[in-house]
Amino acid sequence: MKPLAERMRPRTLSEVIGQEHLTSEGKILFNAIQTGHLPSLIFWGPPGVGKTTIAQLLGTELKRKVFQLSAISAGVKDIREVIQQAENSKFFNSLAPILFIDEIHRFNKSQQDALLGAIEKGSFILIGATTENPSFEINNALLSRAQVQILNPMTDEALDKILKHVIANDEIFKNKKIEIEQTESLFYYSGGDARKLCNILEILGSSKEEIIKINNEIVSQLIQKNIDQYDKGGELHYDIISAFIKSLRGSDPDAALYWMARMIAGGEDPNFITRRMVILAAEDIGLANPNALLIATAAQQSLAMIGWPEGRIILSEAVIYLACSPKSNSAYLAIEKAIESARINNHLPVPLHLRNAPTSLMKNLGYGENYKYAHDYAGNVVAQDYLPEEIKNEKFYTPGKNSQEQKLSEYIKPKS
């Protein structure tokens, strides 16, 4: 038997729930069905709101063949092959097919550029689906050839309509007695995602009991028992990224690789993972190994250039390097202390000897007077106060107990 989400998939555009700003009379997708004119589109919205369903329905209702790619696994070669298939499917004056690309934001620039010529030739109508802001993740050349349409998360009202539709029409539920006592937990754990709602209902419907009760306690217990699946939009998402970061901080490459693999298998955006690695490189490794930040940044840039799935190798290399690096949070602690002091002492003037003196008036007022130019002294270091008098003895940076920072501490200026 097909999953409940698949069994309940709308058969016409008018059955789509929650996206009436696109599908109702007079709106863009309704008009496309009426006129037969369909522009290239980018659907931007969270998971489980109907991006894939709407793309397939447009193909069905407009009688256009639909080709589909997933940017998670497709490369330039796959793009060229599907373009060739699309061009071969056109005979005489037949309508251009639709090419639907799921997770299009995961394509790198060269993969996105490979689509441009075919769009210009009219080989296909592009419909891309993305959960990320297209302005940041899709190049301008491609954006200029498509209209961005925003799909909204499912409201509780929309989820309630789906719930009632499932109970009334699904082959499992319509043969059982359903007692709806409370829906707050059901909608909360669905998180605006129709697919999650169907997944929860499917577990509820699998009970052998003839009477199925839906209330907050039952749904909460159900979720706890079935929380082993990765949920990139919910609480487990934050638990797994936390385990990943703590494994890196704890210098355990095996655990870090495992938690990263869990995220990858769960469909997490690799860019989210690399951003967290860059932060960790600065916050937890810091000056104990400054190259860690270079490695993390290079991984982020290389991922954008290479794309997926090859990008997983780049992430693996970076994760192992970060986990095996010496650790220091001295830079993090230093800036936190400095910010706190700046908040309290934001009224203190800049000492006269540190001020710039571009005019004679400023020189007469003592600006720059008695400033000691460090390069004129041995080792290019000189004893001199650089903080306001009131806080001149405050210490923000304390070198970590590692060889790299102990070496750096040799260059810290002596107190005057």
Vertex 106, ends 102 and 108: CA angle to 5°? Answer: 125
Domain membership of residue 279 (yes or no) is yes
The phi and psi torsions of 100 (rounded to 5 degrees) equal -100, 125
Pair 140, 38 in one domain: yes
**333-356 pLDDT, tens digit each:** 898 889 888 888 888 888 888 888
Together in a domain, 55 and 71: yes
5 occurs within a structural domain: no
Q: Are 313 and 361 members of one domain?
A: no
Confidence (pLDDT) at 412: 73
Mean of the pLDDT values across residues 243-262?
A: 92
Alpha carbon separation from 32 to 38, 39, 53 (Å, rounded): 5, 8, 16
> Is residue 33 scored above 70 in pLDDT?
yes
Whether this prediction's pTM lies above 0.85 is answered by no
In a domain, 11, yes or no: no
Pair 146, 44 in one domain: yes
Residue 371 scores a pLDDT above 60: yes
Domain that holds residue 73: 19-150
**Do residue 189 and residue 277 come from a single domain?**
no
Cβ-Cβ contacts under 8 Å for 213 (sequence gap 6 or more):
179, 181
Lowest mean pLDDT, pick from 57-61, 159-163, 241-245: 241-245
Asked if residue 36 and residue 130 are part of one domain, the reply reads yes
Helix 194-205 with 216-225: angle, nearest 10 deg: 90
Token pair for 156: 């509780």
Mean pLDDT of 266-284: 88
Does residue 189 fall inside a structural domain? yes
CATH, residue 215: 1.10.8.60
> What are 103-148's pLDDT values in tens digits?
898 888 888 888 998 898 888 999 999 988 888 788 888 999 999 9
Please give the share of the chain, as a percent, with pLDDT higher than 90: 44
Length of the chain: 416
pLDDT of residue 280: 94
Asked, for residue 9, whether it belongs to a domain, the answer is no
Collapsed DSSP state (helix, strand, coil) of residue 128: strand
Average pLDDT over residues 200-215: 87
Asked if 270 contacts 315 with a C-beta cutoff of 8 angstroms, the reply is yes
Question: Structurally, how many domains does the chain consist of?
Answer: 4
Given a cut of 80, whether residue 416 has pLDDT beyond it is no
Classify residue 10: in a domain, yes or no: no
* Residue 146: predicted pLDDT: 93
CA atoms of 416 and 413, how far apart (whole Å) = 9
